[in-house]
Amino acid sequence: MTPDRARGAGPAGERVISRFAPSTTGQAHPGTLLSALLVWLDARSRGGVAILRLEDLDITRTRAEWATDLIDACRWLGLSWDAVLVQSDRRASHEAALDALAAAGRLYPCACSRAARAGGRRAPDGSWAYENTCRGRALPAGGWRDATDAIRARLDDDRIALVDAGGLDLSQTPARDMGDPVVRRRDGVIAYQLAVVVDDFDEQITDVIRGRDIAPSTATQVMLQRLLGLPTPRYRHHFLLLEPGAGKLAKLHGSIPFSELRSRHSGAALCGLLAHAAGLAATTAPCAPGELVAGFDWRRVPTADRVARWTEHGAVGCCADGRRGARPPKNHRRLRQPREVCAEQGLPILVTVAAADPIRSRSPTTSRVDVGGPSMGS
Ligand SMILES: [Zn+2]
């Protein structure tokens, strides 16, 4: 990492264009908004452009009201975007990329089920790796559009050596480690790995900032960029906000949805909590995103995932890097277990208390909306 990169500046003369790209498959939750805030701050602190891209291609899971919800949630937090783009508007560009891959002889149909891979080899993202079993199969005479199976892209078997801007090693041999990616699903949906690469190029994205859960996909995306002759943007993967007891990724296990957040906090209050969790504010005092721009520096942002714990009164706690922190006010009698241990680092939890209604006692974590959370950006 160059000194310039450490300060967050792009190469001389280059305009930073960054995007926050949640999938519209659930309400926004604190982890979603953390990602939005970090993307926005990074762009604004470098005089760059910040785009909101709504990833709505998965017709089996997306809902129009969740797209609206994400826009509203960002506005409520205090974030303004230079453009709001909808991924499903870009079908023609995605199809052109499939045509280019087909012309290069890279596409093949695959009918292998997920169940058939179970018990095989683990991929870096925890899924079952695909063994490129169908590489020898040809597309139908009418091309990929006539295929009734899923379509995969045959990657080069080369190793991708890549370290992101935060020092995270993303190196992989994606064709072997993950297997050739699906680029068009069996149901006709353009697959994430292809759409994200095409859109990042078309939108001239210079910086891809997203949660660490997406990091194992990066080498596959870089390989697809190479096959399509596209440049590789800078990548940075930030820490995740997890929930204790909710498994590895809180966002998949019913984090507090935006409707619940909005009923308990102001946008400024949540911004203060997120800024504190991200190392950008000494306290959890309410603030606006714009107030954080001048002091924004990735060196202040923790690299390890943090546990956010929502109490019965809507308070949130987060790992405190070993320091004891603020205690909850005395009127929060039912606050349970003010200290917990972060599973990843064994650190005590700092319980910081949000501006929540002390009369309501229903725990947000037990009144979750069972929708699954949206991705924290891709
Ligand atoms: Zn197959």
Between residues 60 and 5, the one the model is more confident about: 60
Instruction: Give the least confident one: 108-112, 206-210, 261-265, 363-367.
Output: 363-367
Ligand 1 center from residue 133 Cα (angstroms): 5
Whether the per-residue pLDDT at 188 is higher than 90: the answer is yes
Mean pLDDT of the chain: 80
Q: Supply the Cα-derived Rg of the chain in whole angstroms.
A: 21
Strand pairing class (316-319; 349-352): antiparallel
- With respect to residue 19, please indicate whether it lies within any of the assigned structural domains: no
Supply the pLDDT for residue 128. Answer: 92
For 37, phi and psi rounded to 5 degrees? -65, -45
Residue 37, judged by CB atoms within 10 A of its CB (0-12, 13-18, 19+), counts as buried
Ligand 1 center from residue 172 Cα (angstroms): 21
Mean pLDDT to the nearest integer, 173-189: 97
- With respect to residue 263, please indicate whether it lies within any of the assigned structural domains: yes
Question: Quick one: what percent of the chain has pLDDT higher than 90?
Answer: 60
| pLDDT tens profile 33-60 | 999 999 999 999 999 999 999 999 998 9
- With respect to residue 312, please indicate whether it lies within any of the assigned structural domains: yes
pTM: 0.80
Supply the pLDDT for residue 256. Answer: 76
Question: Which residues, 6 or more positions from 96, have their beta carbon under 8 angstroms from its beta carbon?
Answer: none
Whether the per-residue pLDDT at 77 is higher than 60: the answer is yes
Ligand 1 center from residue 121 Cα (angstroms): 15
Band (13; pLDDT cuts 50, 70, 90): low
* Alpha-carbon gap, residue 378 to 209, rounded angstroms: 8
Ligand 1 center from residue 296 Cα (angstroms): 46
Mean pLDDT to the nearest integer, 297-324: 64
CB atoms within 10 A of CB 97: 23
Supply the pLDDT for residue 185. Answer: 96
- With respect to residue 366, please indicate whether it lies within any of the assigned structural domains: no
- With respect to residue 117, please indicate whether it lies within any of the assigned structural domains: no
Supply the pLDDT for residue 330. Answer: 36
* Count of the separate structural domains present in the chain: 1
Ligand 1 center from residue 96 Cα (angstroms): 23
* Alpha-carbon gap, residue 11 to 57, rounded angstroms: 33
- With respect to residue 373, please indicate whether it lies within any of the assigned structural domains: no
Is 363 in a helix, a strand, or coil? coil
Mean pLDDT to the nearest integer, 182-192: 96
* Alpha-carbon gap, residue 133 to 120, rounded angstroms: 13
Domain limits at 333?
A: 241-352
Supply the pLDDT for residue 192. Answer: 95
- With respect to residue 162, please indicate whether it lies within any of the assigned structural domains: no
Ligand 1 center from residue 151 Cα (angstroms): 9
Ligand 1 center from residue 218 Cα (angstroms): 22
- With respect to residue 106, please indicate whether it lies within any of the assigned structural domains: no
Structure tokens at 39: 């993307």
Ligand 1 center from residue 106 Cα (angstroms): 14
Whether the per-residue pLDDT at 101 is higher than 90: the answer is yes
